[in-house]
């Protein structure tokens, strides 16, 4: 039986720009189930970034209902949204968003501080997820001592550390070369196989093809929502197993 993680009903998002009202989202109806691997695609101005912000509880809709794991988060205040984000959603960004003067271990530990873990448990859990993304030999390195791919692995580890129900990746390969991009998508594929729900926001068709479902937006509406029958999986990741 499928379990709904996300349910959007009649979601709109309007912005006032000067005297004009910009309708970024125009009535989105969407359901994402537990352990789906979804790509959100669309050209510039399609509304995919606005939708990502709503899904990640970084913003609230103008109208409509957003049910996240059975809870209506459509009209929560900023503090409540921050709490939901920390517990339910792991973010991976194009620009990594790592603290430059902190080690990989310290960067990964950060969400655990807000979650109230003691120091011993923070270190233990951060080491565990860094090992899972194959960075156990880099835990004391700072971001400028890591390659782009390694930095993104640190970001993925940080996203996983609180055991969120959703991993939301915004253009996760945008700053990486093609080989490293495939490695990161292979890593996300393994995280999906371990049980996580993955949502990747991208404008790159070859990256979207790693997902098992592709949702295409145009002019603030869902244009197509289709199952990808043959998702890409890098051969060198097929036998790798990750525990999250």
**Residue 56, both tokens:** 């990640």
Report the CATH number of the 35-58+77-237 domain.
3.40.50.300
pLDDT score of 234 more than 70: no
* DSSP codes, 10-50: EEEEEEEETTEEEEEEEEEEEEEETT-EEEEE--TTSSHHH
Q: pLDDT band at residue 242, thresholds of 50, 70 and 90?
A: low
Share of the chain above pLDDT 90, in %: 85
9-35 per-position pLDDT tens digit: 999 999 999 999 999 999 999 999 999
Spatial neighbors of 239 by CB under 8 A, at least 6 apart, are: none
State the average pLDDT for the chain. Answer: 92
Return the pLDDT at 63. 97
**Contact predicate 53/59, CB 8 Å:** yes
pLDDT-based confidence at 239, cuts 50/70/90? very low
Name the residue ranges covered by the structural domains of the chain: 35-58+77-237
d(CA 173, CA 154): 14
Give the tokens for residue 182.
């495939």
Per-residue model confidence (pLDDT) at position 233: 79
Is pLDDT of 170 > 90?
A: yes
Question: How confident is the model over 56-110, as pLDDT tens digits?
Answer: 999 999 999 999 999 999 989 999 999 999 889 999 998 999 999 999 999 999 9
């Amino acid at each position: 039986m499928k379990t709904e993680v996300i349910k959007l009903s009649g979601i709109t998002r309007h912005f006032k720009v000067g005297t004009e009202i910009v309708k970024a989202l125009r009535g989105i109806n969407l359901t994402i189930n537990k352990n789906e691997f979804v790509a959100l695609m669309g050209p510039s101005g399609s509304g995919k970034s606005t939708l990502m912000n709503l899904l990640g509880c970084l913003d609230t809709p103008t109208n409509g209902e957003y049910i996240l794991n059975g809870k209506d988060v459509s009209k929560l205040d900023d503090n409540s949204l921050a709490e939901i984000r920390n517990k339910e959603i792991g973010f991976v960004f194009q620009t990594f968003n790592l603290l430059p003067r902190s080690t990989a271990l310290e960067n990964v530990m950060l969400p655990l501080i807000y979650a109230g873990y003691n120091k011993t448990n923070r270190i233990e859990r951060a080491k565990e997820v860094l090992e899972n993304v194959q960075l156990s030999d880099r835990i004391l390195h700072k971001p400028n001592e890591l390659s782009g791919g390694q930095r993104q692995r640190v970001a993925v580890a940080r996203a996983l550390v609180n055991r969120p129900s959703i991993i939301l990746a915004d253009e996760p390969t945008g700053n990486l070369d093609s080989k490293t991009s495939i490695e990161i998508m292979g890593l996300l594929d393994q995280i999906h196989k371990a049980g996580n729900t993955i949502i990747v926001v991208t404008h790159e068709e070859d990256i979207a093809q790693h997902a098992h479902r592709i949702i295409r937006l145009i002019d603030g509406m869902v244009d197509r929502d289709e199952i990808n029958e043959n998702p890409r999986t890098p051969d060198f990741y097929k036998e790798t197993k990750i525990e999250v």
